[in-house]
Amino acid sequence: MDLAELLKKAREFHGHSCPFLALGIRISDIAMKNLEIVSRDEGISIAEDVLAIVECNNCLTDGVQVATGCTFGNNSLIYLDLGKNALTLVRRSDWNGVRIYVETEKIRKYFDRRALELFDKVVVKRSGSSEELKELSELWEKISWKMLEIPEKEFKIERVKVEPIERAPIFKDSRCKKCGESVMITRIKDGLCLKCSGSYYAVVGRGIVKFENSKMEEVVL
Ligand SMILES: [Zn+2]
Ligand SMILES: [Zn+2]
């Protein structure tokens, strides 16, 4: 795979280039080689024959989507709300897969001190100036290229057997008696869509959360 080309594609998709985006490409590259998948263009995503199972919803996941072609929308991306830098790639034919995991600490050594300082100020504290934001984005771009070459020994690579996961079912629509909108039949309760019922789940920055009376429930960590 041409990782440099993938990083360019990923930047377009993700809106910026950043280390974890590139890490998502590197981790996918290792997983695909291990599973002997030549490229994302094997048509795998249409048939859902290969699944990418991610364990976080950060920038890394966008790198995985671009590199593997397994996306949120084509139902080949499975999200486990575990908060780990890990990807499992698995074939449906035998449910044999490979899980690649990497410690955040191992990645940090590829960041220079200035990038870490700026990350804290611009992203964590959201208090950077526009010059600092520009400087961070230039540093990120540089680190992204380094990420593509992280040696395999930095990753934990293991063969795994995955419990079968159903293919995306095709359901008929029904209609909500309150808002009048059509809605997938599995997402209607007592004639109301879940939005009108006020009780539903959502993926937000911290992971999967429950909304009750249309308000995010207090999350106990
Ligand atoms: Zn990013
Ligand atoms: Zn409704």
* Residue pLDDT, tens place only, 187-212: 999 999 999 999 999 999 989 999 99
Are 18 and 56 within one domain? yes
Is residue 187 assigned to a domain? yes
| 113: CATH | 3.30.1330.130
pLDDT tens profile 2-22? 899 999 999 999 999 999 999
Mean pLDDT, range 27-39, rounded to an integer: 90
The answer as to whether 142 is a domain residue is: yes
Q: Which two tokens stand for residue 29?
A: 């590259």
Residue 221 lies in a domain: no
Burial 98-135 (b: 16+ CB within 10 A, else e): bbbebeeeebeebbeeebeebbebbeeeeebeeeeeeb
Q: Quick one: pLDDT band at residue 218, thresholds 50, 70, 90?
A: confident
Domain extent for 156? 3-161
Q: What is the pLDDT of residue 108?
A: 85
CB half-sphere exposure, 31, CA atoms < 13 A:
32
Interval between CA 186 and ligand 2 midpoint (Å): 13
| Same domain, residue pair 116 and 17 | yes
- Note whether 26 and 100 are same-domain residues: yes
Domain annotation covers residue 71: yes
Are residues 202 and 114 part of one domain? Answer: no
- Whether 157 and 65 map to the same domain: the answer is yes
Asked if residue 207 and residue 139 are part of one domain, the reply reads no
d(CA 134, CA 147): 20
pLDDT of 110 > 60? The answer is yes
| Residue 192 and residue 147 share a domain | no
Going by C-alpha positions, the residue among 15, 17, 14 that lies closest to residue 4 is 17
Distance between Cα 147 and ligand 1 center (Å): 13
Average pLDDT over residues 141-151: 93
Q: Which of 67-71, 95-99, 169-173 has the lowest mean pLDDT?
A: 169-173
- Other beta carbons within 10 angstroms of residue 66's beta carbon come to 23
Give residue 203 CA to ligand 2 midpoint distance, Å.
Answer: 20
Give the ligand at the shortest distance from the Cα of 21.
1
Same domain, 112 and 204: no
> Quick one: 150 and 181 in the same domain?
no
- Domain boundary residue, one of 119, 139, 161: 161
Ligand nearest 200 Cα, by number?
Answer: 2
pLDDT tens column, 43-71: 555 566 899 999 999 999 999 999 999 99
- How much is the pLDDT for 201? 95
Assess whether 46 and 148 both reside in one domain.
yes
Residues 6+ apart with CB under 8 A from 156: 99, 100, 101, 102
**% of the chain exceeding 70 in pLDDT:** 94
Angle of helix 3-14 relative to helix 130-147, nearest 10 degrees, comes to 150
Split into its structural domains, the chain has a count of: 2
